[in-house]
Amino acid sequence: MVCEMFEDSTDQAPIATQTLLWPVGSGMPAPPGVRFWSDGAWQDLQGAIRFTMVSGSVTVTSFDVSAVRNEFGGFTQYASTVVPEPCSLALFYAFAAAGLLWRSRVGPS
């Protein structure tokens, strides 16, 4: 999987890029791991991240992002945990399946 970090949007050149390779059977990424950064990035507290699968598949359940700013005579860290939303097609299939189950219990009208 390729992880890219952008200062403002994915239309720009990435400010940090890392390719993660998972050793077969380990379930964990190889070093340097899933942490990457760009010094001085996101000082305006906005940015973008893009994950691209090179081969295979992976389930991203959550990821953490943060920006560290030098302010008020010290460092302040702004951080957030992001939980990706399910894709709209998966939601459609879930609602369709629920509708079919409901119809089979109630019966056709």
- In the chain, the number of structural domains is 1
9 inside domain: yes
27 inside domain: yes
Encoding tokens for residue 65? 């992002």
3-class secondary-structure state, position 95: helix
Residue 93 CA to residue 99 CA, distance in Å, equals: 10
Domain that holds residue 60: 2-84
8 inside domain: yes
- Measured from the Cβ of residue 35, the count of other Cβ atoms closer than 10 Å reads 9
User: What count of Cα atoms within 13 Å lies in the side-chain half-sphere of residue 80?
Assistant: 7
> Per residue of the chain (109 residues), what is the pLDDT tens digit?
888 889 988 999 999 888 877 666 666 655 445 667 778 888 888 888 888 888 877 777 777 788 888 887 888 888 777 777 666 556 666 666 666 555 555 545 5
